[in-house]
Chain A
């Protein structure tokens, strides 16, 4: 939740680390990829209190220690189904009609 800006010890949080700066990345990458750092996010239990943007160490689910920048506290998932796709809403009605028409004709 974006409105939580601080974590306490033991809170479930997310941290971010840069694994590779652009200059250190693989050769043979497309330009737009090579220009960006390779970044990583992982969740865990905070080992200390911190504010968003601070460096903090977390203990992950496997018990590893990972140090990075605090990016979220009690991170959630906001993905959805969203609205129906208008180009698909008629499909069910149309196809049911077609199957019914085929069967009516086949049964003649």
Chain B
């Protein structure tokens, strides 16, 4: 079997080149730099084309809702003159229940246009539902590969629900135990079927999210006279931040981009025993930090999702804070939605408290909820797996050991991640993937500056510091 894995991995380049529907090598400029914008526009679709593809697929134009009760709640404990207006883009209204419909729509369109018989995606999240639903509409076959169970064959209720919904939309769902070898199995399936790899990280996928930023800028302008001052984005692999920010830019908005993740520091993502000790399967730092600091770890040669390029701030919240906000959203706003999508909502409540009353904060997504994906199901499962759940001060939370539910909304306080440190980590990773002894050129420095949302002088300083170390 080891031989079999090695044999398939040795053919990775050849299999992926056919499966991705695009030759990535044309964009490489050096061992460090590549033509990002060239890659993003190579599909040839304008934003209007993508909007049209999504309309045909039943995707987008989700309601933008002002959360007046939540806003007043935040104002009730903010300093005088503070407490920004909070809005949400109810992406759960998409056909498969999340913004991931946007991400799936372009890949499915390309698969149909190019004559692929089906699509394959590796995902345990909402993206699987989106790909399955869009594939059903396009009459394409669909395989979803999920990391679903620990070695006891116990799966988080959220992932089991995701298996169910994918199968409900007619997908073949491959459920695996924990481990990164999921990727080599996906390669085998791509090789066997000849289907398109509908990667989360392709330019098709990330371009599909641009309509979300674009739409919300237009809708906020219609409601308040201007694009939002702040958009808060639940961040994992980086596509949500990247696509939303690019869409806002296209609309001419000068919005501050605030990424937010659930803090799961200390839990190992490939650990069989940690697997069921986390109550969030996405939107957490276990993906958010490694993907921001090295996006090209993805299942495509170059990741279209490059969050560090776009984030102005990166906030983390605890699991208990997000569950509290999920309950609050249902009771105060009549919006019963899934916890993962409410990660940004918890961060937004903390952020809005520190902003003036005339600031506008948009949480740019919600996700569907239901059996398994509901916060009660998640908390019951956490208890069954030995995680302590109690009311108290959320700063005492220890990921994998305890979930502390706030007693009062004032206790919801997002933590600021150090972006300077993350930029340094990104540059170190980028250089470590170049051949040993490679000296970065001025073009490389310019690329790294763009990719880290900084400037050449900062990148030069980081490189000099890395050399000294």
Contact in complex: B323, A88 (CB < 8 Å)? yes
A82 to B161, CA, bound (A): 14
A29 to B153, CA, bound (A): 19
Q: Which of A20, A26, A33, A85 contacts B272 (CB 8 A)?
A: A33
Given A30-B270, A83-B376, A95-B332, A62 contacting B405 (CB threshold 8 A): no
Q: Identify the closest chain B residue to A76 (Cβ).
A: B164
Given A61-B170, A85-B389, A95-B73, A20 contacting B372 (CB threshold 8 A): no
A64 to B268, CA, bound (A): 34
Q: Which of the segments B40-48, B177-185, B255-263, B445-453 contacts the partner chain? A: B177-185
Secondary structure of the B side of the interface? mixed
Contact in complex: A80, B175 (CB < 8 Å)? no
- Residues on B with C-beta less than 8 A from A40 are 174-177, 185
Contact in complex: B327, A91 (CB < 8 Å)? yes
Contact in complex: A98, B73 (CB < 8 Å)? yes
Contact in complex: B405, A88 (CB < 8 Å)? yes
A69 to B379, CA, bound (A): 33
Given A21-B1, A61-B141, A42 contacting B328 (CB threshold 8 A): no
A-B pair count, CB < 8 Å, reads 164
- Residues on A with C-beta less than 8 A from B376 are 81-85, 88
- A47 contacts chain B at the CB level, 8 A cutoff: no
A residues 38-88 near B (Cβ < 8 Å) are 38-44, 60-64, 77, 79-85, 87-88
Of the listed residues A24, A32, A36, A92, the one surrounded by the most CB atoms of chain B closer than 10 A to its CB is: A32
Q: Identify the closest chain B residue to A21 (Cβ).
A: B1
A44 to B11, CA, bound (A): 29
- Residues on A with C-beta less than 8 A from B149 are 39, 41
Contact in complex: B178, A33 (CB < 8 Å)? yes
A82 to B389, CA, bound (A): 15
Contact in complex: A88, B375 (CB < 8 Å)? yes
Contact in complex: A85, B379 (CB < 8 Å)? yes
Contact in complex: B380, A82 (CB < 8 Å)? yes
